[in-house]
Amino acid sequence: MKKLFSLGLGILATMTITGCSTLGDNGTNKAISLFDGKTFDGWIQSPADAWTVKDDAMASKGVGRGVIYTKDDYGSFRLIFTMRHLSGNPDHQAAVLFFCTRPVPGQKELDALGGIQFQVPPGYPWDYRPGHNTDKEPVFKHLPHPKFNASEWSRVEILVNAKTGTARLAVAQPVGSKAVEILDFNDPTAGKIGPIALQMHNKGLFDEYKDITVEVDPPDDELITVK
């Protein structure tokens, strides 16, 4: 019995170290860590060496416009993370991209991976798909919400459905409070499987992200942090 107990503790410790622990806000075992707080395993930077790890957070270095994106592709998912925007010169909000196009070796990378952008925490959007380049309704719907302080930590949930081409954004500030839904996206032609990316919009931006988790194909198409 003692041997089995020790083995179980060893497996649990290994899961925690490798970042494969179950860390979702929904209390299920389906939310998987995308960032272990120590390394960039599972991520690709473009340009290279534009991000660093600082105090368990993924931090942009302000070197120039670009993205850091997942090595894996995702279609329908629930992304939850904690973030803050420290400063910018010139300033721009931190941004997350989904429905992205993965770069092809030897070919020019699409700007912002040609994805849909949600700026966090305020909820400003942009459609980077070639031929679109807009932030207008009806594809984006802004919802009433309180004003957030971008320099303070926020807990963010983004619920994405590639089958329907929809996405919803909710923000909780302070962290631990009930989130508020602030932005919806709806365009059936946009839905696609691709990497998830964090965008550094321009040179001089300093943002931090931590506790990043993803739940693939969530059974409930509902935001969980607003409850």
Task: Name residue 151's amino acid.
Answer: S
Q: At 224, list the tokens.
A: 């969980």
CA distance linking residue 78 with residue 224, whole number of Å: 9
Q: Which helix (H) or strand (E) holds 10?
A: helix 2-18
CA distance linking residue 145 with residue 46, whole number of Å: 33
For residue 157, is it left (φ>0), alpha (ψ between -120 and 50) or beta? beta
Residue 158: how many CB atoms within 10 A of its CB? 23
Pairing between β-strand 154-161 and β-strand 77-88 as defined by DSSP bridges: antiparallel
Q: Are 92 and 202 in contact (CB under 8 A)?
A: yes
Which residues, in sequence order, are CB contacts of 101 under 8 Å at separation 6+? Answer: 110, 113, 114, 115, 192, 194
pLDDT in tens, the chain (227 residues): 443 433 343 433 333 333 333 444 554 559 999 999 999 999 999 999 999 999 999 999 999 999 999 999 999 999 999 999 999 999 999 999 999 999 999 999 999 999 999 999 999 999 999 999 999 999 999 999 999 999 999 999 999 999 999 999 999 999 999 999 999 999 999 999 999 999 999 999 999 999 999 999 999 899 999 99
Nearest partner of 123 among 97, 104, 146, 142, judged by Cα: 142
Which residues, in sequence order, are CB contacts of 164 under 8 Å at separation 6+? Answer: 186, 188, 191
Q: What is the pLDDT of residue 23?
A: 45
Q: Between the CA atoms of 171, 31, 221 and 209, what dihedral angle is there, to the nearest 10 degrees?
A: 20
Q: What is the pLDDT of residue 2?
A: 40
Q: What is the pLDDT of residue 25?
A: 58
* Order of strands, sheet of 43-46, starting from the edge strand that comes earlier in the sequence: 43-46, 66-70, 197-200, 94-98, 116-120, 125-127
CA distance linking residue 22 with residue 206, whole number of Å: 28
What predicted TM-score, i.e. pTM, was given to this entire model? 0.88
Q: What is the pLDDT of residue 123?
A: 97
Question: Regarding the domain delimited by 22-216, which CATH topology (the fold level of the hierarchy) does it fall under?
Answer: Jelly Rolls (2.60.120)
